[in-house]
Structure 1
């Protein structure tokens, strides 16, 4: 098992303790689960799409929540008593489709907003966009200009 020493981040960058703890939390979370599989796609400079393979789940079985900078996707299948046939009555020759409940968390960057979510053909698509407020956009400062009056 690999461990990453994050102490250089703490020494070199002011305010990086939050970044280092996010990296550490992400590496711990990745070891815990790999279900359901997903892709993260860059659609344009500030637009992203997360696609998750959620075969067997309907839109009523999936809950998407955003709290602070965390996107959480939960999948809860109906209990056996709610389905037409119980698991004991079904006979599988091969069972390769997982029907287990899941929870997947994604750490979102600052100013990343969820635009839309769609479930089609067993794939859950979540569209995201980074919207940088005007106050946080880079400003060009002309040499020789005076931003404030010192007097």
Structure 2
């Protein structure tokens, strides 16, 4: 059983709509795990997403960050001739993969090397949000 009924959460929670929507959207992802990816913790505030995009050229990939959502799309040109395969083990289909980013996480750079797309992220917490020590007056 992989699907859960989240309706009771809607009745008993206030202000957690985003969390519940994340759970539901994660439950309904039907891309079949293509393309495969890794999420790596590089250091305390740095992360790296690595996506296997073999067969895609740099101009066929699109990376967009908007409202804490990172979207990576890969699409082959429509004018490619249809091929007749005797066996096809390499997936070359178009894809769209979305990642929900936490607050204050920004995309630093992206690069394509040997069929792997590396996207570097960094959490930059504003000074006002960092904990600070309060001195006790005598």
Task: Normalising by structure 1, report the TM-score.
Answer: 0.78
Aligned-residue RMSD, C-alpha: 2.5
Preserved CA contact (<8 Å) 1:10 1:16? no
Offset at residue 105 of structure 1 (A) = 0.4
Partner of 2:18: 18
The alignment status of 1:95 with 2:88, answered yes or no, reads yes
Indicate how the Cα distance of structure 1 residues 64 and 95 shifts in structure 2: closer, same or farther if over 3 A, else same.
Answer: same
Offset at residue 11 of structure 1 (A) = 5.0
Preserved CA contact (<8 Å) 1:10 1:17? no
Preserved CA contact (<8 Å) 2:46 2:120? yes
Offset at residue 96 of structure 1 (A) = 1.1
Preserved CA contact (<8 Å) 2:6 2:20? no
Match of 1:25, SS? Answer: helix
Q: Deviations over 1:50-93 (max 9, x none)?
A: 000011001000000011110000101122x3x4xx334xx544
Preserved CA contact (<8 Å) 1:41 1:49? yes
1-10 or 106-115, larger mean C-alpha shift: 1-10
Preserved CA contact (<8 Å) 1:115 1:126? yes
5+ residue gaps, structure 1: 146-151
Partner of 2:123: 130
What is the aligned length?
Answer: 136
Offset at residue 4 of structure 1 (A) = 6.1
